[in-house]
Structure 1
Amino acid sequence: MKASAFVYPWDVAGDPGAADRIAGLGVEQATLAAAYHSTRALTPRHPRHRIVTAEHAAVLYPPGDRWAGRVLRPYVAGDWAPGDAWGEAAGALAAAGLEVHTWVVLAHNSRLGMEHPHTSVVNAHGDRYPWAPCIAQPAVRAYLVDLAAEAAVRPGAHGTELESLGWYGLRHLHAHDKTAGVALGDAGEYLMSLCFCPDCRDGYGGHGLDADKLAAVVRAALEPVWRGAPDGEGWRDVERLLGADTAAATLAWREHTARTLQEDAVAAVRAAAPEGFQVLLHADPVSYHCGANAGVDPAHILSVADGVVVPCVGGTELLAPFAARAGLDTVLAANLTVVSGLGGSPDTLAADAARAQDAGATELRLYHAGLASDGDLAAVQEALSGH
């Protein structure tokens, strides 16, 4: 199976040995961040720094003229990725023999939400989630579609991987997160991720729901959770809490909103890209799930994109729904963490890759070449040498 390593531009720029070191792992591709959220990242081998603090979500290249005069526009990076950091890193990786694809984070942007609060998801209690742009809002959708096209199709890129192209909800891993004190479960996460901004309120109305009554039902359904009552798992529990018809109406609105955004974003990327440009989505086969791996309907998304990148850290069960709908040319990339300090298992990579292949994976994604220790990278190299 073809393997690709995730990389940040700051892992490569300024380190003359980085590109060859990544190529030496045995990967054929580098998936290089072109638009990314705020983060604090370790760079254990870089000759100039050990910690990079990306203070806000930013594009890692100079944004184009399409943003002139627009209120919602991408932020440029600070000194953690100045100028065309993506282009500099991509050039070095390509010179080392790697095929370079872009890695584009979309509906996850805390600075956007802080500077333009009206763009954020609003829960049933009236709390805003500044990290989560509401993908139902026309201005947000236009911003995300144009960002997808621009950030994905960078000079020299052979394809892209679009992350967070769907609903973002409560779960975020925000700075010093303190939200795990009450176990919400699958159903609680869904209820706490329902948006009640003006556009979503209108959307619920179009599906026969009164938004005020729905918000009250959601708040009441969550009350036992705040008192520590165990919450069930899965969609059946959402139906129990909201009623089957109400639950179905909320999901219909959210699925339609996400699907049409995904269709528009992929179409915009294809229109901007050369022939043969590969478009993948980071995806979860459970359509009501939120987050970086957008909840999707496998049949629909595989009719839109060339394939998906699927989280497989805890096992390969999420691959099966996509494998059942895959065509001969569909890319099913199993995303495996190879950083021990982040819970990854580089020492079992060969076995994990074999299990993923048996479950239908056609490619591997390795998170993350820049964050891993020397020992982790040595284990990856050993695993891929017999791959």
Structure 2
Amino acid sequence: MKASAFVYPWDVNGDPGAAEFIAGLGVRQATLASAYHSTRALTPRHPRHRIVTAEHAAVLYPADDRWNGRTLRPYAAGDWAPGDAYGEAAAALADAGLEVHTWVVLAHNSRLGADRPDTSVVNAYGDRYPWAPCIAQPATRAYLVDLAAEAAVRPGAHGTELESLGWYGLQHLHAHDKTAGVGLGDAGQYLMSLCFCPTCREGYEAQGGLDADELAAAVRESLEPLWRGAPDDGGWTGVEKLLGEEKAAATRAWRDERARTLQEEAIAAVRAAAPDGFQVLLHADPVTYHVGANVGVDPAHILSVADGVVVPCTGGTGLLTPFAEQGREGAVIAANFTVVSGMGGSPGTLAADAARAEELGATELRLYHAGLGSDADLEAVRSVLGGS
């Protein structure tokens, strides 16, 4: 199977040997970040640094004039990715023989939430999630659609992978995270991720006939047993048990429609800006109410509008099946494995994991992450892929 490794520009820029090293792993493609969230990253082989601190979400190239005069616009990177950091790294990777695709993070932006709190998801208690822009808000949707098109279609790119193109919620590590004291499963995470910003409050009433104040009170009441230590039954049946079937269905209908139409609009904008043959993939989870970097989607729908999906498989390959079962000819179903042992990956089992993924319908591999892994981790990758 074709394999691609995720890469940051700062893994390559300033390191004359980085691009050849990545190509030598045996991958044919590099999925290179062009718009990314804040992070602190290790660079274990770079000749100039060992830690890169990306202080806020930013585009890693010079934004164009489409943003002139707009309130919501992308932030420029600081000294961790100056100038056209993406373009410089992309050129080096292409010169090493790799096909370069963009990696675009969208609805995950703590800087936006800090500067414009009104754009953030608001939970049933009135708490804001500054890392999570509400994708129901018209201005935010317009910003995300234009960002997707600009950040995806960079010079020389053969395709893109769009991450967090949907709802983000509670389930997000943030600063020194202290949220694990109560074990929230699927049901609790869903309820704590429901948004009650003005746009969503209107949406619940218009689409589901729900009074937003009553719904918020019902969510808070439903969560009380979990705060006292009751088990979270998990899954959608757990949400229905806690909130009631009618209310649960109405909230999901609103959120699914907002995510689905945003995905359609963003993918259409990318295609309109891209050359023929440009590949558009979505980082995705086959359960529509799931939130996060791998957004919840309906497999049949997303494979009708995108060229395929990138599916998280480090915890198991079961999420591949709903996409493969669609039987859509030519669709890319990429199994994404973490190959950094210190981040929970298992590079030593990559051969067996890849074989299992292929049995379940995977057509390609994604390896997270060529810049973060130790020499030993990446040597294990090289041995599986037959690199030089």
TM-score normalized by the length of structure 1 = 0.99
Secondary structure at the counterpart of residue 78 of structure 2: coil
- What's the counterpart of residue 199 of structure 2? 199
8 Å Cα contact 1:166-1:261 kept in structure 2:
yes
Q: Which residue does the alignment assign to 2:120? A: 120
Structure-to-structure mapping, 1:14-163, within 5 angstroms: 14-163=14-163
Tell me if structure 2 keeps the 8 A contact 1:129–1:170: yes
- Asked if 1:238 is matched to 2:239, the reply is yes
User: For residues 200-279 of structure 1, what are the structure 2 equivalents within 5 Å?
Assistant: 200-206=200-206, 207-279=208-280
- What residue number does 2:310 align with? 309
In structure 2, runs of 5+ residues without a counterpart are: none
Q: Please give the alpha-carbon distance, in whole angstroms, between the structure 1 residues aligned to 2:355 and 2:173.
A: 30
> Residue in 1 aligned with 2:174?
174
Kept in 2: contact 1:302–1:326 (CA 8 A) = no
How far apart, in 2, do the equivalents of 1:13 and 1:181 lie?
41
CA distance in 2, matches of 1:231, 1:332: 31
Counterpart CA distance in 1 for 2:119 and 2:230 is 33
CA offsets 1:306-362 (integer angstroms, 9 cap, x no match): 000000001110000000113120000000000010010111111110000001000
Q: Share of identical aligned residues, percent?
A: 81
Matching residue of 1:373 = 374
Question: Distance in 1 between the 2:138 and 2:161 partners?
Answer: 23
Match of 2:300 in 1: 299
CA distance in 1, matches of 2:266, 2:83: 25
How many residue pairs are counted as aligned between the two chains? 386
Paired with 1:355 and 1:176, the residues of 2 have a C-alpha distance of: 36
CA separation in 1, counterparts of 2:328 and 2:299?
12
1:55-94: CA deviation from partner (whole Å, max 9, x where unpaired): 0000000000000011100000000000000000000000
Alpha-carbon deviations, 1:268-288, whole Å to 9, x = none?
000000000000000000100
- Check whether the contact 1:302–1:330 (CA below 8 A) recurs between aligned residues: yes
Q: Name segments (4+ residues, structure 1) moved above 2 Å.
A: none
Q: Deviations over 1:26-58 (max 9, x none)?
A: 000000000000000000000000000000000
Q: 1-side partners of 2:240 and 2:229: how far apart?
A: 20
State the SS of the aligned residue for 2:46.
Answer: coil
Cα root mean square deviation, aligned: 0.6
Counterpart code for 2:323? F
Counterpart Cα distance in 2 of 1:75 and 1:153? 18
* Residue 388 (structure 2) pairs with residue 384 (structure 1): no
Please give the secondary structure, in 1, of the residue aligned with 2:328: coil
Secondary structure at the counterpart of residue 161 of structure 1: strand
User: Is the CA contact 1:57–1:75 (under 8 Å) kept in the aligned structure 2?
Assistant: yes
1:357 alignment partner AA: E
- Consecutive unaligned residues of structure 1, counting only runs of 5 or more, are none
